[in-house]
Amino acid sequence: METSNEYKLVPGFENSFGTGWKVMFDNFLRLFLVIIVLAIVTAPFKIFNFHFDLSDLHRFPWNFGGDWVHNIFRLGTLGIFAAFFGLLTMLYAFLVAPVFQYGGSMIFVQAVRKIKPDFEYLIKGFMENYLHIILANLLVFALVVLGLFALIIPGIIIGCRLIFVSYIIMDKKLDPIEAVELSWKLTRGHGWKIFFMGFVSIFIVIFGLIMLIVGIFPAIIWISSSFAALYESVLREKEQPGEQIAT
């Protein structure tokens, strides 16, 4: 149930989780449906996650005890099969899944803004903002990975500072470079806050799993609502008189 009053949005750790909790209860069924859809569209990662293990060869119906030339051919065929499914997984991860994930992020922002969540955002990215979504996701992924290779800590810092990119791409319709720059600007002074929210989120997920597994759904809704609340509160703070935000 929704009220006419806006949520109290202050860019703080406690307020973000507190607002996220209220957003979850005010929009539970709608946000639950979003989480279900996102869980389904990410399922292909597991379907295409093919693992090749030589110890499993005896389970196949054919016999590997014959000519070594034929065995090499069969192993090569299995390798091609594994590579094919690996390629499908990679293409899906970078060309399809981000559209749903970015759309889901915007739906949570709508809930924080007391706007009735629009489910069309889950697929709207395919029609309106596809290239920016794909490139932004790829850019963030590459920057975080490079940071992780540089002694891990830089990767964590970059991940925290670019946490708002998905919201910005959908909300402000900026290109990937502008979205990364704006996220970096918005999160200035909030890096530790974002880090601790992410750290606490791990325990919320674990607690949700302990609660007969089904608790994972409200846990994810709460976490997603909390980060959306943080984005909206920081955005409003930066858009106060004297501040300039690119649109």
19 or 238, higher pLDDT: 19
Tens of pLDDT, residues 146-187:
999 988 899 999 999 999 999 999 999 999 999 999 999 999
Tens of pLDDT, residues 44-74:
655 545 444 545 445 444 444 555 555 565 5
Distance of alpha carbon 219 from alpha carbon 240, whole angstroms: 32
In this predicted structure, the answer to whether residue 242 has a pLDDT above a threshold of 60 is no
Per-residue pLDDT, 213:
79
Per-residue pLDDT, 243:
53
Tokens of 103: 């759309």
Distance of alpha carbon 233 from alpha carbon 227, whole angstroms: 10
201 or 63, higher pLDDT: 201
Distance of alpha carbon 122 from alpha carbon 42, whole angstroms: 13
Give per-residue burial for 153-191: e unless 16+ CB within 10 Å, then b: eebeebbbbbbbbbbbbbbeebebebbbebbebbbeebe
Which of 206, 204, 211, 246 has the alpha carbon at shortest distance from 227?
A: 204
Indicate the average pLDDT of the chain.
Answer: 85
User: Hunting for tokens 């319709």 — which residue is that?
Assistant: 173
Cβ partners under 8 Å of residue 105, min gap 6: 166, 167, 170, 224, 228
Per-residue pLDDT, 57:
46
Percent of the chain with pLDDT over 90: 66
User: What's the average model confidence in pLDDT over 180-203?
Assistant: 96
Give the start-end residues of each E strand in the chain. none
Per-residue pLDDT, 3:
44
Which of 9, 26, 28, 3 has the alpha carbon at shortest distance from 219?
A: 28
In this predicted structure, the answer to whether residue 200 has a pLDDT above a threshold of 70 is yes
Per-residue pLDDT, 88:
83
